[in-house]
Structure 1
Amino acid sequence: MFEHHNRWHIWIRFHLRNGQMLPFEALELLHRRAAEERMARSVDDFYGNSEPPLPIGVRPASASERRDATA
């Protein structure tokens, strides 16, 4: 996880140096990403090895509709 977190710092520093992002935007993005990672970690800790439930109103896709996210 540290490696993933470090990549975000490198990405933000690059955009700050090139004038593509303002400092407050970078800080906001960094905090938002950290909050997302904390939430994901807490869900993993709570559910352990079991599958977390889908949000209300979301139905699981059938096996024929599922695609690999990396494809």
Structure 2
Amino acid sequence: MRMDKNVGRVDRWIRVIIGLALLSLPVFAEGNLKWLGLLGLVPLLTAAVSRCPLYSLCGIRTCSSEKAK
């Protein structure tokens, strides 16, 4: 199975911002909310590899087809 990119440039930056914001939760939050910060690793990972498994399931592609290969 070929792993084509399906996350575009703007989408990647949004994921990085959201990921970093979630990772900062342990610094600013108290109690159980600190563990939610680990969820920030998911958008950072999908931004790093330019591939989102959920987008693949839904048939969504935010990058141009020329750069996806």
Check whether TM > 0.5: no
For normalisation by structure 2, the TM-score amounts to: 0.37
Q: Whose RCO is larger (CA < 8 A, sep 6+)?
A: 2
- Which structure is larger by alpha-carbon Rg, 1 or 2? 1
